[in-house]
A and B are shown apart, each in its own frame.
Chain A
Amino acid sequence: MTPTRALRRAALALLAVTVLGAAAADPADRLADPAKEARARALFRDVRCLVCQSESIDESEAPLAHDLRQLIRQQVTDGRSDAQIKGFLVSRYGQFVLLTPALSWGNAVLWIAPLLVVALGGAALWTRRRAAPETSGLSAQEEAALETLSRDETN
Chain B
Amino acid sequence: MIDELGQFALVLALMLSLAQAALSIAGRIRRDAALAGAGEGAALATFVAVLLGFGALIHAFVTSDFSVLNVFDNSHTAKPLIYKIAGAWGSHEGSMLLWCLILTGYGALMAASGRLPFGLKASAVATQGLLGALFIGYMVFASNPLTRLPDLPVQGNSLNPLLQDPALAAHPPFLYAGYVGFSVVFSLSVAALIEGRVDPAWARWIRPWALAAWSLLTIGITLGSYWAYYELGWGGWWAWDPVENASFMPWLLGTALLHSAAVTEKRGALAAWTVLLGLGAFTLSMMGAFLVRSGVLISVHAFAIDPKRGVLLLEILGVAAGGALGLYAWRAPALRDEAAFTPVSREGALFLNNVLLAAATAVVLIGTLLPLIRAAIDGTPISVGAPYFNLTFTALVAPALIALPAGPLLAWKRGDLPGALRRLWLAAVVALAAGLATLGLVTPRSLLAASGIALGGWVIGGALIEAAERVRAFQAPWPEVGRRALGLPRGAWGMTLAHIGIGVFALGAAFETAWRAEAAAALSPGQSLRLGGYELRLDSVGQVFGPNFEAERAHIRVTDAAGRLVCDAAPERRLYAAGGQTVSGVAICPSLLDDVYVVSGEARPAANGPTAWLIRGYWNPWVRLVFAGPLLMALGGLVSLSDRRLRFAVTARARAAAAAPAPAE
A positions within 8 Å CB-CB of B: 1, 3, 6-7, 10-11, 13-14, 16-18, 20-22, 25-28, 45-46, 48, 52-56, 59, 94-102, 106-107, 109-111, 113-118, 120-122, 124-125, 128-129, 131-133, 135-136, 146-147, 150-151, 153-155
A10 to B160, Cβ gap below 8 A?
yes
Given A25-B519, A95-B380, A114-B363; A107-B266 close (CB under 8 Å): no
Given contacts A21-B599, A109-B366, contact A54 B298 (CB under 8 A): yes
CB-defined A-B contacts under 8 Å, sample of 15? A11-B579, A21-B234, A25-B519, A53-B298, A54-B239, A56-B386, A99-B386, A99-B388, A106-B374, A117-B355, A121-B359, A122-B355, A129-B340, A147-B411, A151-B411
- Selected from A13, A98, A136, the residue in CB contact (under 8 A) with B340 is A136
Q: Give bound CA distance, A111 to B300, whole Å.
A: 26
Residues of B near A102 (CB, < 8 A) are 382
Please, how many angstroms separate the alpha-carbon atoms of A22 and B616 in the complex? 8
CA distance A18 to B574 in the complex (A): 11
Query: Is B387 part of the binding interface, using a Cβ–Cβ cutoff of 8 Å?
Result: yes
In the complex the two chains form, is A18's CB within 8 Å of B582's CB? yes
Q: How many A-B residue pairs have CB under 8 A?
A: 185
Distance in angstroms between the alpha carbons of A121 and B403 in the assembled complex: 16
Give Cα A26–Cα B519 distance, bound, in whole angstroms: 9
Enumerate B39-79 residues with CB–CB distance to A below 8 Å.
69, 72-73
Closest 5 CB pairs of A and B: A99-B385, A121-B355, A132-B340, A25-B520, A117-B359
A52 surroundings in chain B (CB, below 8 A): 300
Do A117 and B383 touch across chains, with their CB atoms under 8 A apart? no
Q: Which residues of A contact B579 (CB under 8 A)?
A: 7, 10-11, 14
Closest to B366 in A: A113
Given A6-B73, A13-B302, A132-B341, check contact A125 B348 (CB 8 Å). Answer: yes
CB distance from B388 to the nearest CB of A (A): 6
Cα A81 to Cα B521 in complex, Å, equals: 29
Asked if residues B582 and A96 are in contact (CB atoms below 8 Å), the reply is: no
Shortest CB distance A105–B (Å): 11
A101/B235 contact (C-beta < 8 A), A53-B302, A95-B382 known: no
With contacts A11-B579, A100-B387 taken as known, whether A54 is within 8 angstroms of B241 at the C-beta atoms is yes
Check A46 against B387 for contact (C-beta < 8 Å). yes
- Most chain B CB within a 10 A radius of its CB, from A22, A54, A99, A116: A54
- Quick check: A118 and B385 within 8 Å, CB to CB? no
B168 on interface, CB distance cutoff 8 Å? no
Which of A3, A107, A133, A155 contacts B72 (CB under 8 A)?
A: A3
The contact of B470 among A117, A131, A153, A155, by CB within 8 Å, is A155
Instruction: Select from chain A the residue with minimum beta-carbon distance to B373.
Output: A109
Asked whether any CB of chain A lies closer than 8 Å to the CB of B540, the reply is no
Interface residues of B (CB under 8 A from A): 69, 72-73, 157, 160, 162, 232-235, 239, 241-242, 266-267, 297-300, 302-303, 306, 338, 340-343, 348, 351-352, 354-356, 358-360, 362-363, 366-367, 370, 374, 378, 380-388, 392, 396, 411-414, 470, 518-522, 579-584, 599, 601, 614, 616, 618
Q: How far is the CA of A56 from the CA of B300 in the complex (A)?
A: 11
Residues of B within 8 A of A59 (CB): 234
Which chain A residues border B363 with CB–CB below 8 Å? 110, 113-114
For residue A110, give the distance in angstroms from its CB to the closest CB of chain B. Answer: 6
Which residues of B are found within 8 Å of A101, using beta-carbon distances? 370, 382-384, 388
Contact for B581 among A14, A27, A114, CB less than 8 A:
A14
- Complex-state Cα separation, A22 to B386, whole angstroms: 15
Contact: B234 with A110, CB < 8 Å?
Answer: no
Q: Are A20 and B340 closer than 8 Å at their CB atoms?
A: no
Report the separation of the CA atoms of residues A17 and B378 in the bound assembly, to the nearest whole angstrom.
30
Query: B383 touching A48 by the CB < 8 A rule?
Result: yes
Which residue of chain A has its CB nearest to the CB of B583? Answer: A18
* A39-B99 Cα distance, complex, nearest whole Å: 46
**A128: which B residues are within 8 A, CB to CB?**
340-341
CB A108 to nearest CB in B, in angstroms, measures: 10
Question: CB within 8 A of A94: which of B303, B381, B392?
Answer: B381
The answer to whether A125 and B366 touch across the interface, beta carbons within 8 angstroms, is no
**How far is B350's CA from A154's CA once the two chains are assembled, in angstroms?**
15
Contacts A25-B518, A54-B239, A121-B354 hold; do A106 and B378 have CB atoms under 8 A apart?
yes
Contact of B521 (CB < 8 Å), options: A27, A95, A121? A27
The answer to whether B362 and A117 have CB atoms under 8 Å apart is yes
Complex CA distance for A22 and B162, rounded to whole angstroms: 18
A69 to B235, CA, bound (A): 20
